[in-house]
């Protein structure tokens, strides 16, 4: 039995499956955008901490923080697309840039978050992502 467009049931199932796959591709691309933005920023902060370590070789916190940020960047890049933190952070993104969110962000506080992340406290990569999530989502 054909539908109103003349499609067989098998054709409708194939079309629905194709539409679902396209939606998943769009979701995956969006998660990759926020994932890359977070990981790239972590890697940039790690480079900054490594430079600080060269300037202040007696302060071991800089290298430790750099290593923790690189580990967190790798962790973020390996997260599944449906990780609740990526989903929520992506939903806040306004599309200009993955790190431009729809809402008020105190840029001094934001710079403090990124600058101090893993400096005085080195937790797990998940802990560091939780701190980023909490800052942007729960503010």
Domain ranges for the chain: 9-138
* CA–CA gap between residue 36 and residue 44 (Å, rounded): 12
Compute CA 79 distance to the chain's CA centroid, rounded to the nearest angstrom.
9
Query: Higher confidence at residue 3 or residue 70?
Result: 70
Q: What percent of the chain has pLDDT over 90?
A: 38
Given a cut of 90, is residue 138 above it in pLDDT? no
Q: pLDDT-derived band of residue 115, with 50, 70 and 90 as boundaries?
A: confident
Q: What is the mean pLDDT of residues 85-105?
A: 67
Compute CA 112 distance to the chain's CA centroid, rounded to the nearest angstrom.
18
Note the pLDDT of residue 121: 81
- pLDDT single digits (tens) 20-34: 555 545 445 556 788
Q: Which two tokens stand for residue 38?
A: 């977070």
Q: pLDDT-derived band of residue 48, with 50, 70 and 90 as boundaries?
A: very high
- pLDDT single digits (tens) 127-136: 999 998 998 8
Q: Which two tokens stand for residue 36?
A: 């890359």
Q: pLDDT-derived band of residue 96, with 50, 70 and 90 as boundaries?
A: very low
- CA atoms within a 13 Å half-sphere pointing along the CA-CB vector of 69: 28
Note the pLDDT of residue 18: 61
Note the pLDDT of residue 8: 66
């Amino acid at each position: 039995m054909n539908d109103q467009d003349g499609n067989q049931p098998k054709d409708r199932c194939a079309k629905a499956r194709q539409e679902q796959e396209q939606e998943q591709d769009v979701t995956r691309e969006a998660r990759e955008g926020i994932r890359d933005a977070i990981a790239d920023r972590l890697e940039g902060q790690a480079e900054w901490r490594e430079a600080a370590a060269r300037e202040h070789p007696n302060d071991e916190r800089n290298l430790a923080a750099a290593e923790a940020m690189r580990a967190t960047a790798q962790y973020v890049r390996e997260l599944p697309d449906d990780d609740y933190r990526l989903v929520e952070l992506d939903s806040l993104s306004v599309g200009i840039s993955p790190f431009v969110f729809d809402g008020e962000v105190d840029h001094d506080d934001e710079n403090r978050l990124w600058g101090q992340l893993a400096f005085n406290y080195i937790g797990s990569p998940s802990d560091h992502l939780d701190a980023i999530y909490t800052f942007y989502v729960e503010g």
